[in-house]
A and B are shown apart, each in its own frame.
Chain A
Amino acid sequence: MKNTYIFTPEAKGFLIKGFIVGLILLAIGIAMNWNAGVGGGDHHGHAATLRTHLIANIYTVVLYGFWIGVTALFFLSATTLALGGWHIQIQKVLLAIGGTLPFSILLLAIFFAVFNHDLFHWTHDLYDPNSATYDAILASKRDYLNMGRFWVFAIAIFVLVLGLYFLWNKNLNEMDTNPSVKLFDKSRAIAAASIFILAMLVNTFGSWDWAMSIQPHWYSTMFSWYLMASAAVGMFSILFIIVFYLKKNDYLPHVNENHQHDVAKYMFAISIFWTYVWFSQFMLIWYANIPEETIYFTKRLHGYAFMFYISLALNFILPFLALMKRDSKRKSKLVLTIAVFIIIGHWFDFFNMIVPELIEGGGGFNLISVGAFVALASVFIYIALTTLSKYKDLSSSTHPYIKESYGHHI
């Protein structure tokens, strides 16, 4: 029985090939958009340059990857705190998805340090009444929207997220070598802290600062849980794909269709939750019809209508109809297919949050987007699998709750 994951050269080769294909697509996309924005202004005042295309699309994928890592840690904490037992065998996979956090945090820090003027409109000189670009509305928000506050919050979030990841990693690794109830109690304490920090601080301020403030005039109180729900579905889909891959290679012998059924249930349930938040945000703004609020959807429906509706189809209609029946949640090949579509659908959703604001009027989705997604997704999965191969005990077979996971039956 294999209980340590070996990251085989074939798997590595596959991901490296994926990375190279992504880079090639990115290069073709760059060549095709080489003259983007040259010659200046369309009817929106300024045209997106190649630089904007690259930054917007890569940032989208990085942010998606960061939030997938955060939701993986959040879900691990939530089930641990609720004394869940079924996930024990796959908790190392969750932790390995969290293992991409140092990488995504590094990339985010680079974006905030180097490209903050490209991403955040409010970083420009808007607060000086004598300046030509003075913006009275944003000036009233200057206590929140300023670079000093932004960096304090960003660094706090980075430190907290990394700290929680390393605490989890240490705790579960100690549990493998020297299991005890005391360690388990400690993991529940970490879980309690994680839930508060990840959901209340990281999710709230992270989504406000890094996604919502890209459109600084607009705000929505539903935005942060809309963003987290979006990433959570992507995380469960990736979890399912990795577990399926491990099962196919004879790892995790006691994981059966019951555990896969539970992951598929989460994909189904959080998809509906995402739709609920997405629709609530849309419907209230549509119904009230206040210009300062509708601007968000105007930008998405004019030029990005296809992306807008396809993300609803992929993220709601498809999983809702395909995963509704109990039997279909237990057919792992079907769920695998849906998982791939969901990952793409929520990438589109993240795209809709960010890119239409930076590249107005359409044209933001091209080979640069696809290339950035394929290349970075390969890197993220490569890091997750490398992390996974470092665990001595893949299925946590000495965990106090492992028997509950073995006997899980629904």
Chain B
Amino acid sequence: MSTTNKFLVGMFDDDQTLLKAVESAKNSGIEIAEAFTPFPVHGLEHKMGLRPTKLHTAGFVFGATGLVTAFSLMAFANAVNYPTNYGGKPTFALPAWIPIMFELTVLFSAVGMVISFYYLCNLYPGKQPKIIDPRLTDNMFALTFDISGDNEQTSKITEFLNNEGAVEVFEKDI
């Protein structure tokens, strides 16, 4: 995206300190833009108050689409459009179609969920990554706060972060 926002970044070196900071930020009404961790931290999404992902529902819809696609194509081709007699076997052979229906369910839901996931994360081929700090994929944790519109927040949040045990606080334009 072309527009850049200004963020205040607090770096932590421990996931438990980060969890505590998230909790007290919630309590004192400071709005966290995003948290960055090198590995999934248990309970972080609850403390951040994030709503559960809807990716599963999308997966179900994609899967159901695959099921219906496979069934209707086979039923149309084998039973309606071009019924062929193979040794007297029924043309509407549902049990024989189930493996293919299953395969297409899996294929559609897998591919659909990957594409949905990329869309939701705003990822696409050739995307330039916006890196807050390279250490975030290694051993550091970060909380970011959007301060583009409001300059008097900066000193308050900086103080808050220092109190919460952030090892480093800096501003970054992204």
Contact = CB atoms under 8 A, between A and B. Distances in A.
A287 B96 contact: yes
A298 B95 CA distance: 16
Nearest to A280: B99
B60 A282 contact: no
A303 B151 CA distance: 80
Interface residues of A, number: 10
Contacts of B52: 326
The listed residue with most A CB atoms (<10 A of its CB), out of B89, B95, B96, B98, is B95
Contacts of B99: 283
A409 B96 contact: no
A326 B53 CA distance: 11
Contacts of A289: 89
Given A324-B60, A326-B56, A409 B95 contact: no
A286 B43 CA distance: 49
A287 B42 contact: no
A282 B98 CA distance: 12
B56 A409 contact: no
Contacts of A282: 95
B47 to A, nearest CB: 13
Interface string A249-286: 00000000000000000000000000000010011001
Interface string B87-121: 00100000110110000000000000000000000
Interface residues of B, number: 10
A118 to B, nearest CB: 34
Contacts of B89: 289
Given A409-B42, A409-B43, A325 B56 contact: yes
B56 A279 contact: no
B55 to A, nearest CB: 11
A229 B120 CA distance: 38
A283 B56 contact: no
Contact of B96 (A283, A325, A326): A283
Interface string B54-94: 00100010000000000000000000000000000100000
Interface string A301-330: 000000000000000000000001110000
Interface of B: 42-43, 52, 56, 60, 89, 95-96, 98-99
